[in-house]
């Protein structure tokens, strides 16, 4: 009704529309592409100065929805996933991508998200989401990327995620997840990037991970993992980064790691590894960073380490190594930290 604050004149409509267009031009072409189309007619201001939201200018990558009312702006924050219009639109009409990262969102990851069966990319990282990772996530079998990192998620990694066989990227790091790394993850044979670091995971590194032969980056560091480093790690010949540091791993450094000739960054420090440093380490000629510090390694430093001429960082301190530094290490002219 006109008396309740809706637009009552062409001048008001024109003024509000002009502000919207000016905002879009100022945002530039990149941000214009991320702006949802406007709906209904432009808003106006009622007698108390409140917005009548007849039109929304939604910038997708922010949690703030701007309601333009004449020359007055009123900001309304949508701080949960459930009440975020982009999520609601996905539920209503389906979508292939849902990107609500770094939006200041709180609350839970909705179980109803399991209905978004066409999703290929899900990005919720960098928020303050709590609750568990819903088991219903296993219904989203078209997913290729899942980014739930940097939240406050608790509970376990659902075994149901083993059904997401199209996944190439899975980031669950920097949360408060507990429990073990599910053996079902061995079914995710398309994975290239797997990050579970900075949680409170326990148990062993599953031997089933040896099936993830497409992995290029694997980070399980900064957890409470126990047991040995699986010899099956030697099957992951595409790895360029392997970080297992800051756990409670025991046993030996597998000689099979000598097969990981693409590795540029290997971090096994701050564990309880024993045995010697394998001579096979000399095969990893692409290494730029090697962390073996704070273990219980014994024996000598292999002369073969002199083959690692790309090394910039080598940490062997806080072990039980004996003898002198091999003269062959004089060939490591790129070293910055030793």
Superfamily of structural domain 79-201: Ribonuclease Inhibitor (3.80.10.10)
Residue 40: the pLDDT is 39
- Determine the Cα–Cα distance for residues 289 and 291; give it in Å rounded to an integer: 7
Q: Which of 85-94, 123-132, 221-230, 309-318 has the lowest mean pLDDT?
A: 85-94
Per-residue pLDDT band for 205 (boundaries 50, 70, 90) equals: very high
Instruction: Tell me: pLDDT of 163 over 60.
Output: yes
Position 9 scores a pLDDT of 44
In tens, the pLDDT along 307-330 reads: 999 999 999 999 999 978 899 999
Average pLDDT, the chain: 84
Q: Do domains 79-201 and 230-338 have the same CATH topology?
A: yes
| Mean pLDDT to the nearest integer, 53-60 | 36
Give the pLDDT confidence score for residue 129 in this predicted structure. 98
Does 112 have pLDDT greater than 80? yes
Query: In this structure, what are the phi and psi dihedrals at residue 184, rounded to the nearest 5 degrees?
Result: -60, -20
Q: Return the bridge partners of 77, or none.
A: 64
Examine the pLDDT at 278 and tell me if it is beyond 70: yes
Does the pLDDT at position 82 exceed 70? yes
Q: Give pLDDT, residue 323.
A: 78
Inform me whether the pLDDT recorded for 91 exceeds 50.
Answer: yes
Lowest mean per-residue pLDDT among 32-41, 72-81, 96-105: 32-41
Mean pLDDT of 98-109: 96
Compute the average pLDDT of residues 2-24: 46
> pLDDT grade, residue 42 (50/70/90)?
very low
* 139-160 pLDDT, tens digit each: 999 999 999 999 999 999 999 9
Does the structure show a pLDDT above 50 at 47?
no
* Helices assigned H by DSSP within the chain: 10-33, 85-93
| CATH fold for the domain made of 230-338 | 3.80.10
| Token code pair at residue 195 | 């990050």
pTM as predicted = 0.78
Q: Is 137 within 8 Å of 161 (Cβ atoms)?
A: yes
Percent of all residues in the chain with a pLDDT value above 70, rounded to a whole number: 77
Residue with tokens 């126990």: 226
pLDDT for 69 beyond 50:
no
- Confidence category of residue 76, pLDDT binned at 50, 70, 90: very low
- If 0-12 CB within 10 Å is exposed, 13-18 middle and 19+ buried, where does residue 314 land? buried
CA distance 117 to 164: 11
Report yes or no: 193 and 172 within 8 Å, Cβ to Cβ.
Answer: no
At residue 16, does pLDDT exceed 80? Answer: no
Percent pLDDT > 90 in the chain is 74
pLDDT of 299 reads 96
Give the residue extent of every domain in the chain.
2-77, 79-201, 230-338
By three-state DSSP, how is residue 234 classified? helix
Q: Is the pLDDT of residue 83 over 60?
A: yes
Angle among Cα 83, 161, 111 to the nearest 5 degrees reads: 25
């Amino acid at each position: 009704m006109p008396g309740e604050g809706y637009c009552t004149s062409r001048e008001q409509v024109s003024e509000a529309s002009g502000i919207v267009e000016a905002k879009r031009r100022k945002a530039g072409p990149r941000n214009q592409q991320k702006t949802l189309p406007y709906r209904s007619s432009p808003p106006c201001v009622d007698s108390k100065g409140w917005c009548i939201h007849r039109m929304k200018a939604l910038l997708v990558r922010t949690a703030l929805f701007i309601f333009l009312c004449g020359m007055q702006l009123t900001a309304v924050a949508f701080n949960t996933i459930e009440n975020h219009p982009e999520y609601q639109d996905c539920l209503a009409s389906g979508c292939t991508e849902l990107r609500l990262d770094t939006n200041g969102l709180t609350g839970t990851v909705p179980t109803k998200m399991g209905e978004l069966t066409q999703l290929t990319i899900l990005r919720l990282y960098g928020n303050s989401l709590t609750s568990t990772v819903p088991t219903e996530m296993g219904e989203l079998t078209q997913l290729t990327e899942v980014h739930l990192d940097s939240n406050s998620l608790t509970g376990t990694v659902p075994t149901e995620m083993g059904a997401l066989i199209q996944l190439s990227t899975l980031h669950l790091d920097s949360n408060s997840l507990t429990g073990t790394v599910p053996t079902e993850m061995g079914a995710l044979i398309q994975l290239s990037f797997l990050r579970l670091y900075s949680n409170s995971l326990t148990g062993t590194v599953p031997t089933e991970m040896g099936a993830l032969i497409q992995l290029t980056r694997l980070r399980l560091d900064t957890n409470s993992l126990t047991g040995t480093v699986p010899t099956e790690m030697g099957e992951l010949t595409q790895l360029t980064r392997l970080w297992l540091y800051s756990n409670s791993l025991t046993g030996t450094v597998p000689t099979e790691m000598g097969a990981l000739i693409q590795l540029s960054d290997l971090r096994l420090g701050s564990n309880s590894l024993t045995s010697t440093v394998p001579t096979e380490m000399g095969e990893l000629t692409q290494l730029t960073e090697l962390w073996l510090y704070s273990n219980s390694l014994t024996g000598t430093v292999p002369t073969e380490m002199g083959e690692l001429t790309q090394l910039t960082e080598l940490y062997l301190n806080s072990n039980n190594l004996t003898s002198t530094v091999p003269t062959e290490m004089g060939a490591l002219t790129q070293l910055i930290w030793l």
